[in-house]
C-alpha cells in the first residue's frame, strides 16, 4: 500500500491527520497528482464549524481541500495531454458525462457531480475525497497544465478565480462596464480583478472594513472603494464618479448588500449573486421590475472557466512581476507546511486578517 497522508474533518470542530491508501489508476484517462499547494476555502471553514452548507451535510469523516495544484505522478494509458512531471491545476468537481447538464455545457449543475471535500447526499454518506493529501486522482480533462508564468502557489487561486470567471461570463461582462463588487474577501477581490481583466472601465469594491478596502487598492483590483458604513446609495454613487453601475457582483450573501446592489444599479443593469446566504433574504422586487434588471445566480464553474483563470494569471505575469497589473501574490497572506495544517484552519476560522491561506502538500 502506498501511504496517502490526509487532513480529515472527523466531525464538527475536529480535524486531524490520517493515513489512507493512495488512489490507483482504474480508467485509461486517470491521472494521479502529487498535491503541492492547497488554499483554504470559506466552505471548508463552514464544514469545520457547522458540519454543513445548505443541503450538503457531513455524515462521515471527510478529507478536506479543493483549491489545489500539484505535479503529475502517474498517468493512465489513454492520457495524451499530460505526462509525469507536468504541473497542473486541479478542477475538483467531476460531473456525470451522460447528464443533460454536462451535455448542455452547464455541468456545474449536474445533480450527480462528485466534488472534492463536499459531503455526498447519498444515503450511505460516503464523501468524495478532498485534495489535502499526498496523492489525488482526477480525469485528464479536469486538470489544466500550468504555463511557465504560473507558479504552483498561484495556481491555488485558480479554483476561486474560476467561480468569478463563471459569474463574469454569465453577466456578459465586457469593455466599458462599470462594476460594483460587494465584499473584499478573497472571492470579492478576485471578482474585482476578473472584472478589470474582462475590460470593465470602473470597478468599485464595497466593504465595511477599511483594511480590506486598502488591500483592494494596493493589489490593483479596484479603481474605486467605498466603506458602506460611511453612507448609503447616494454616497456610493458619488464615490464611483456619480455614475450608477451597470453590473453588480455580490460576493457576501449579506441581505443589506443584496438590497443595496439592487438599488444602486442603473436602468437595465445586470446583477449576479455569487455569495451564498445562510437564510432567505428580502429585496426590492419593484426595483427589479421597474428598472428591468437582469438577475443571475452563479454556482461554481463550467467549461473553460478553469482554463480562462489560468490564462488570466499567465497573461498578468507574462512580462514579469514588476509589470503585473494585479498583484495576485499578495492575496496569499499566510503559508503553512502540511504538518501545521490544523493551525492553518484555526487561523482562518478565527479571521485574524487572513485573505488567502495556502498549505504545502505533504513532504
CA distance 266 to 293: 8
pTM of the model: 0.96
Instruction: Tell me the C-alpha distance between 18 and 63, whole Å.
Output: 9
What is the structure's pLDDT at 155? 99
Pairing of strands 178-182, 247-250: parallel
Q: How far is residue 239's CA from residue 224's CA, in Å, rounded to a whole number? A: 7
Distance CA(298)–CA(167), nearest Å, equals: 6
Rounded Cα–Cα distance for residues 202 and 224 (Å): 7
Q: CA torsion sign, 321 to 322 to 323 to 327?
A: positive
pLDDT reported for residue 351: 83
In whole angstroms, what is the distance from residue 200 CA to residue 248 CA?
12
Count of Cβ atoms closer than 10 Å to residue 166 Cβ: 24
Residue 99 has phi, psi (to 5 degrees) of -75, 155
Predicted confidence at residue 63, as pLDDT, reads 97
Q: Return the domain boundaries, the chain.
A: 3-149+332-360, 162-297
User: For position 101, what pLDDT does the model report?
Assistant: 97
Predicted pLDDT of residue 121: 58
- CATH architecture, domain 3-149+332-360: Alpha-Beta Complex (3.90)
Kindly give the confidence (pLDDT) of every residue in the chain, 363 residues in length, as a single tens digit, with 9 standing for 90 and above: 699 999 999 999 999 999 999 999 999 999 999 999 999 999 999 999 999 887 888 889 999 999 999 999 999 999 999 999 999 999 999 999 999 999 999 999 999 999 999 987 565 656 899 999 999 999 999 999 999 999 999 999 999 999 999 999 999 999 999 999 999 999 999 999 999 999 999 999 999 999 999 999 999 999 999 999 999 999 999 999 999 999 999 999 999 999 999 999 999 999 999 999 989 999 999 999 999 999 999 999 999 999 999 999 999 999 999 999 999 999 999 999 999 999 999 999 998 789 999 999 999
> What SS3 state is found at 203?
strand
| C-alpha to C-alpha distance for 289 and 76, rounded to whole angstroms | 53
Q: Cell triple for residue 33?
A: 497528482
| Residue 123: per-residue pLDDT | 57
Long-range CB contacts (within 8 A, 24+) of 235-239 = 236/180, 236/204, 236/206, 236/260, 236/264, 237/264, 239/204
The CATH architecture annotation of domain 162-297 reads 3-Layer(aba) Sandwich (3.40)
| Grid cell locating 141 | 480533462
Cβ atoms 199, 177 nearer than 8 A: yes
Cα–Cα distance measured from residue 225 to residue 242, given in angstroms and rounded to the nearest whole number: 13
Cα 235 to Cα 73, 222, 270, distances in angstroms: 54, 17, 21
Amino acid at each position: 500500500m502506498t501511504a496517502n497522508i490526509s487532513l480529515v474533518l472527523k466531525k464538527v470542530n475536529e480535524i486531524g491527520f490520517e493515513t489512507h491508501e493512495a488512489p490507483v489508476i482504474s480508467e485509461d484517462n486517470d491521472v494521479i497528482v502529487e498535491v503541492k499547494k492547497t488554499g483554504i476555502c470559506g466552505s471548508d471553514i463552514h464544514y469545520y464549524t457547522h458540519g454543513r452548507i445548505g443541503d450538503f451535510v457531513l455524515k462521515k469523516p471527510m478529507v478536506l481541500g479543493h483549491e489545489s495544484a500539484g505535479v503529475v505522478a502517474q498517468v493512465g494509458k489513454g492520457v495524451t495531454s499530460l505526462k509525469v512531471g507536468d504541473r497542473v491545476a486541479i478542477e475538483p468537481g467531476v460531473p456525470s458525462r451522460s447528464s443533460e447538464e454536462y451535455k448542455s455545457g452547464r455541468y456545474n449543475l449536474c445533480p450527480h457531480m462528485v466534488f472534492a471535500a463536499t459531503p455526498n447526499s447519498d444515503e450511505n454518506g460516503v464523501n468524495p475525497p478532498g485534495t489535502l493529501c499526498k496523492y489525488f486522482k482526477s480525469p485528464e480533462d479536469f486538470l489544466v497544465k500550468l504555463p511557465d508564468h504560473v507558479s504552483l502557489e498561484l495556481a491555488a487561486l485558480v479554483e476561486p478565480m474560476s467561480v468569478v470567471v463563471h459569474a463574469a461570463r454569465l453577466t456578459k461582462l465586457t469593455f466599458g462596464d462599470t462594476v460594483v463588487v460587494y465584499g473584499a474577501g478573497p472571492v470579492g477581490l478576485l471578482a474585482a480583478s476578473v472584472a478589470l481583466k474582462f475590460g470593465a472601465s470602473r470597478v468599485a469594491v464595497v466593504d465595511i472594513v477599511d483594511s480590506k478596502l486598502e488591500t483592494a487598492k494596493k493589489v490593483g483590483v479596484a479603481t474605486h472603494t467605498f466603506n458602506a458604513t460611511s453612507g448609503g446609495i447616494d454616497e456610493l454613487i458619488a464615490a464611483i464618479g456619480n455614475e450608477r453601475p451597470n453590473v453588480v457582483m455580490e460576493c457576501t450573501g449579506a441581505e443589506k448588500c443584496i438590497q443595496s446592489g439592487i438599488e444602486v444599479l442603473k436602468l437595465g443593469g445586470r446583477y449576479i449573486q455569487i455569495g451564498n446566504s445562510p437564510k432567505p433574504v428580502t429585496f426590492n422586487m419593484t426595483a427589479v421590475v421597474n428598472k428591468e434588471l437582469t438577475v443571475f445566480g452563479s454556482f461554481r464553474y463550467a467549461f473553460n472557466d478553469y482554463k480562462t483563470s489560468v490564462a488570466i494569471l499567465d497573461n498578468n505575469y507574462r512580462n514579469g512581476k514588476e509589470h503585473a497589473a494585479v498583484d495576485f501574490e499578495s492575496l496569499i497572506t499566510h503559508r503553512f507546511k502540511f504538518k501545521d495544517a490544523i493551525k492553518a484552519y484555526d487561523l482562518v476560522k478565527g479571521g485574524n486578517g487572513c485573505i488567502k491561506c495556502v498549505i504545502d502538500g505533504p513532504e
